[in-house]
Structures are given as C-alpha cells and as structure tokens.
Amino acid sequence: MKTHIPSPSAPVLESTMLRRALFALPLFAAACDPYARPADFYGTADKPLWDSNVVTVGDAVYARLPAGERLVRIQSDGTLSTVDLAGASPDRMVATPDGEALLVFASWQACEDADNTIESPDECPEDDLVTRRELARVVGDKRLDAFNVPAHLNALTFTEDGRTAVAYLDYTEQMAIEVDGLIDLGEVMFLPLDGASPARSVSVGFSPEKILFSTDSAGLNDKAVIFSRSEVVVVELGTLDVVVTYPLVLDADQVVDPADAVLTEDGRVALVTIQGSSDLYELDLEKHSIDLEELDDSPVAMVNATLPEFDDGDDLPVTLIAYARKAEVEVLDQNALELREPLLLEEPVSDILATPDAAVMYNRNSDSVKDVYHINLGSYAITEYRVANPIDELRLSPEQAYAVATLRPEIASNNALDAYQDSRWGLAVIDLLNQEETSLVLEAEPIGLALVERDEATYALVLMQGLEHLIQVNLAEPTFFSEVELAAPPLGIGQLASGQFYVTHDAALGLVSFLDPSTGDLTAAGGFATPGLFHESTLLNR
Amino acid sequence: MSSLLLIAAFSALSTAEASERGKNAVHLVYGSYASNDAAFEFYSPNPSIGAAGIRGERALRGPVSLVSTYTRRTVSSEYYDDLILADQMPEREEAALVAAFTGQQFTVGPKLQLDLGKSAFSTYVVGQGLAFVGTSRLDDAPDEDDNLNQLKARSWAPGFIAAGGLEYSPRVGPIQLSTFVELGYNWTAQMGFEDDSVRESGTNAPADMGDLAFRGFYMQMGLGVRF
C-alpha cells in the first residue's frame, strides 16, 4: 500500500478548495438515511402495552396501559385522552350500571422510610416499600373521588339501582393475596356511590362469592343477600347491618358451597342450589325461615321466567331449573314455592335464556348434545332444533326473533362432508318465528359475536381470529353475507351505549374501530398505547 | 495486517522531516454515548448508543482550539412478543412492533492540546457543550406503508462532554494524517417525549410518553487529517 505524502515544499495545493470540501463533510453524513436496514435487536417486553379487555362507559372505551401504567379514554369520534388517576396505576376497572362512571382499582408504591430524598422504589429499603391501593371513581377523564378498599377485594357488583357497589374477593386458584397485617376472607365492603353514607365493611362468613339484591315496593334495592360457604347473610342496605344469617348446614363440621342462587321476582325468597347436591334451599327473607326442596338431581342452571296468562289470565312467576344429567327442566311456582309439571326434553340442557313469554334452552357442556329447544311458556309447546356441532355460545337477537350460536369443532364423523363440518368452527342461525335452522361453516374460530337490528332486518356481526374483515350475516337469509374490511386483525367486539359497536384489534400501539350499525361506517382510533411508555417507576407519597 | 501497515506508515512519517502540526483538523469519528436509562432498553439491550460522524477542529490561540462534532446513529428492536393483553392472540409471523431511536449529537467546545515534546503524540483535554436530538419511531405493522400506527416523536436536551485524549499526528507536510482516542463522561438533561395524537387529561397538551437521558461513560476515536 502506498501513501502519497505531499512534500512541504509543494505548492499550496488548492488549499482553499480542499478546506472547504473537508468542512462540508458533515453535510454528506447528515444526508444518509439510517432507516433502510433491518432491525439491530430482538426486543422483549416485561409488560403488555395495552389490555384489549376494554370497558365502555357512555360513548367511550377505556383501555389500561400496563407498561405505561396509565389509563386512556378512547371516544367514538376518535378523540384520545389520558385519565388522571393522581399518579396511580390502573389494575382493574368496572363500569357502573348507570353507564355514567368507571370504577378503577388503582395502586401505587410508597416508601415508609422517613428519608425525604428517596424518590424511586430502588432507593427505598425493601421492608419500607409498600403498595397502596384505592378504588377510584372516574367520570370522563377525571378522577372524581376514591374509596379506600382493602387490597384483597378485587371484584365489584352493583345494586340494580346503581346506588351501591359491593367489593368482594373473587378468588381464583394460584391467585396471590396480599396480606397487610391481617385480612378477613369473609369481608365484603359496601360503597355508597351516592355519597349518602361512608363505605363500610361487613364480615359475611367465608369466601362470599355471589351477591343478589332484593327490591322494595318503591323499586329501590333494600337488602343484599350474600352467599358464602355454608351460610347466607342478608344485609340491610340502608344501615349496612346484618339482618339475618341463614346457616346452610346444621352441623358445624359440614361444609357446603352455594352453586347458584336467584331471588324470586318479588324479592321475598332466595333460592339456593348447592354444589354436588340435589337440595334446593328456599330462604324466606321476610319470615327468616328455610325450606328445603328435594330435586331429582343436582341442578346446573336456574333462571327466573314467567308463564304468561297462566292462571285466570295472570302471569305466573316461575323459576326454571335444569339438570346436568336429566333431560327435563323443573318449573318452580314462585308464589306457592312448589314444583309444577316439568318440561320434558330429549336431551339435558346446561343453559337457559328466558324471554317474556318463552325460553331458549341448550347445552354448552356436552359435545354429544346439539339440541336447541324453544319453549312457549304459555302453552308448554316445545320446538326442537338440532345444530351441526356442539354449541360454544348462543345469543338471542334484540327482538328475540332469532337465536344465533357459535359452534365449536368436534371429533369428525365418518361421512366425508359431515367430517368436514364437524372439524370446523361454525355459526348456527335459528329463525324462531319461521322455525328454521341453518348451520354454516366459518373460515376461522369466531372471537366475537354481536347481533344488531337495522332497517327492519337483523344482522349477526362475526369476528374471526386472524381475519382482517368482519362478517355481516343477514339472519333472514343467513347463506348470504357481506364483509366489512378492518384495519387490522380483530381481538374482540362490544357495544357502546349509543348502539355503536367497537372492535379491538391486534395492533401493539393500540387500535379500536367504531362501527355505526345504521350506516356500516367504520372509523378507527389508534396509537393510544404510548402514554407513559418510557416512564420509570416512582414513589407516590399521597 | 492492514492495521500493522498503517502503524508502520505512521511510524515512518514520524521520522520524516518535521514541520508545524496543522492547526485545523477534520476527523471521521466513531464513539459511544452511555445511556444507563431503563427507557433506552426499549430500543436496545446495550446501555449506550454507538454513533459515527465527523468532527472539525479550528485553532483559536496557542494550544487552544475549537472542536465541533456531529454524530448520528439509529438503533432499533423488533418485538415478536404479544404486546397486547388479550384472551386470544392470533399467531404471528411478522414483528408486532419495531421501535427505532435515532440519536444525533451536536457538540462544540474548547480543546486544550499539550504536545509531548516534538513527537507525533500529543494529549489534550476537551469540554464540549452538547445538544442531543432524539427521535423515537414506533411502527406496529412495519410491512404496511400506510399503517395508521406509525408514530414519531422528537425531543432534544442540552448536555456536556468532558474528556481527555491522546492524538497521534506526524508533523509532515501541509496535510497530516491524524488519529485520536478520547475517553470521558457525557451528560444530558432528560429528553421528554410526547405523543401529539393523545392529549393529557383535561388539557390540550400532548400525552407524556416519558423521559430519556444519556449519562455515563463516553468514548470517541477518530481518523482524519490536520491541515
């Protein structure tokens, strides 16, 4: 390699030009485009950027951002805003029944060390680092107020009138329960949302799981009926005092867990079934007494319904009780608390949907049962439909003229075409008025189903995994369908108070589409998962 | 082998007829700015950004000169994880997200150079003010040109570099080959990134994405000419 070195005596070679050229080099460097190349690294994320299990309040959708520890509000007009939780991170959220507010279980870290210079969790001694929690009430994008709720109470239920929320422990296996000093696993907390009285905890036995609310003559909820292990507790909502406790066993060594419960239409009696038992407990909430009804088998579903114009033209409130293994449904007269003539079916059912004058019954638990029964509760007339594959989910259209079921694959039968259908996901459309059933084969697994009525027609909107379009099926002619192109593969579908539908999409930075069912117009709102993306954990000393 | 030849060439030059060292210089540089900021891990598993660029130097008075540097580098990471919390996620063949960060550093400041006798070596200390321009680009469908979620956020922060170095520049001819290496410390203020498409609660201000800073060990080396 030779290097040419000019001699010192060489003429001052084009020095001005050369110097200018040398100083111009940065301009050439700046002009390079560094993006036209593959990525340098494979990244891994500790937390997801957003949670597609969104919650709707009014005409907005709220989404949690676990990585950014923020909450965002996505309005159907595409407006995106963060929600101020006063520095706390949203853990779970529930919309209030009136659709006016969002209740957010929120948490933050604090350091109990007296050193004021400590700013980050890393600087705080391990023993002094604590997690504090609250239940914040959010309206719009503002935190209105908050309740101090024990950390282990992770679920909420509401009275029908929306005035009171009840926080309780919804325990799932392997769930970590945080104990700060001590906790009462039988605790529920009543949160008056109207601010009429302070929040208050009540101990209601072990592992309370189901809470029902009775209604007074004015239509306001007056009592909470709380079902826990081996006992049922009734709490007066006005005073939050325990009115009565019903033991479900006579021997303290015995343990029973309620499986299901309903209140009779007049709120006078609570009907309770027990896991693995054929006993039906009838708890009289006025006389504070218990009756036992011996059923034929262990019940699997219990639903209130009405037998229209049954006795002398009066409607008769009843409770329909289905068995897991018996092909019949009991009809319990709520006035007399006696069993009437049962509905006899060909196969057992696991689910019941009641309408004002009928009931639709089907089985989601068994692969061999494919019957759907439509029962006229006035005449006991039963119409039987048989769908092609086992039922995964079934819904009634808003006017209850159609039942639409998603069908799951099953072990293929011998016949070639049957085997084709058996091995695939499907959609069954049942015209309950014209008594026709059509079972269709879907391209992929359905991940969302919504039913909508517009222009005097009823449509099923079906989202399928991995497909960037939404199937729109006219239920009057289910063989014909149209497709609505989506911006990205869908994850779920839901409905806003306005009747619009929202679709969440597989897009890491966040994407929600809003579908106007009256026009079929689709608008997208995306990129909402960035707030707080680069944040570092800080301590919050409120 | 080529490195040995280069050293041999420089050694030969150092024994050549001596002359004044060129007062001005231009170097192609490559160096590293430390981040040590957890937020930078979103773009790179390395705690620093290596950046190439160019540096100019102009004599002021005696051993003092003014040094100015421009460097630029983009680092990017592809994410194939499920970045969404969902009951069911579709199978993925393409990246779920590409996150790219471009750092551009403009530095300027005085340099005090101390010759080591009449040899080709000299040492120096340099202190430079710094303007660090960071650009964050996020794309959750990199194969689609018209993807709705192509976000770009830019921010800048002032800072400084304090470093000491060793330069080798044979004093031969009006244009002299030169190479240097310098080590020190870099510091920038926090660069705050914002997303214009999301507004902060109750305001019209863009949503805060968070901060990023570059602070820590600094290194740069260069190869160029003095004239």
Residue A39 forms contact with B (CB below 8 Å): yes
pLDDT at A15: 52
Q: Flag if B85 and A48 touch (Cβ within 8 Å).
A: yes
Cβ(A406)–Cβ(A430) below 8 Å = no
d(CA A321, CA A310): 19
Higher pLDDT, A542 or B39: B39
d(CA A180, CA A159): 29
Q: Which two tokens stand for residue B201?
A: 């609660």
Residue A179 forms contact with B (CB below 8 Å): no
Sheet architecture: strand order including A187-192: A155-158, A164-168, A187-192, A200-203
User: Which residue type, as a one-letter code, is found at position B1?
Assistant: M
Q: Flag if B74 and A42 touch (Cβ within 8 Å).
A: no
**CA angle centred on A448, ends A443 and A450, rounded to 5°:** 110
Which residue of chain A comes nearest to B150, CA vs CA? Answer: A527
Element (H or E) spanning A362, and its range? Answer: strand A358-362
Question: Is 2.40.10 the CATH number for A296-377?
Answer: yes
d(CA A410, CA A412): 6
Element (H or E) spanning A226, and its range? Answer: strand A221-229
The sign of the dihedral angle between the CA atoms of A430, A431, A432, A437 is negative
Q: Which two tokens stand for residue A50?
A: 């957003």
Count how many pairs of residues, chain A against chain B, have C-beta atoms within 8 Å. 224
Which of A22, A447, A510 lies at the smallest CB-CB distance from B88?
A447
User: What is the ipTM for the molecules in this complex?
Assistant: 0.87
Question: In 10 A of CB B138, how many CB atoms?
Answer: 26
Q: Flag if A42 and B79 touch (Cβ within 8 Å).
A: yes
d(CA B198, CA A525): 10
pLDDT at A250: 79
CATH fold for the domain made of A179-294: Methylamine Dehydrogenase; Chain H (2.130.10)
Per CATH, the number for B22-78+95-226 is 2.40.160.20
Q: Which residues of A touch B99 (CB under 8 A)?
A: 43
Domain definitions of chain A by residue range: 179-294, 296-377
Q: Flag if B211 and A536 touch (Cβ within 8 Å).
A: yes
Residue A23 forms contact with B (CB below 8 Å): yes
Cβ(A510)–Cβ(B147) below 8 Å = no
Backbone angles phi, psi at A30, to 5 degrees: -70, -25
Cβ(A517)–Cβ(A452) below 8 Å = yes
Q: Flag if B149 and A22 touch (Cβ within 8 Å).
A: no
**CA angle centred on A429, ends A425 and A432, rounded to 5°:** 150
A207: left (phi over 0), alpha (psi -120 to 50) or beta: left
d(CA A105, CA A103): 7
Q: Flag if B42 and A533 touch (Cβ within 8 Å).
A: yes
% residues pLDDT > 90 (chain B): 74
User: Which residue type, as a one-letter code, is found at position A123?
Assistant: E
Which of A64, A83, A466 lies at the smallest CB-CB distance from B201?
A83
Q: Which residues of A touch B193 (CB under 8 A)?
A: 534
pLDDT of B147 strictly over 80? yes
The C-alpha of B161 sits at a distance from chain A's nearest C-alpha, in angstroms, of 20
| pLDDT-flagged residues of chain A (< 70) | 1-37, 173-174, 311, 542
Q: Which two tokens stand for residue A205?
A: 């036995």
Interface list for A 76-115 with B (CB within 8 A): 79-84
Mean pLDDT of B117-132: 94
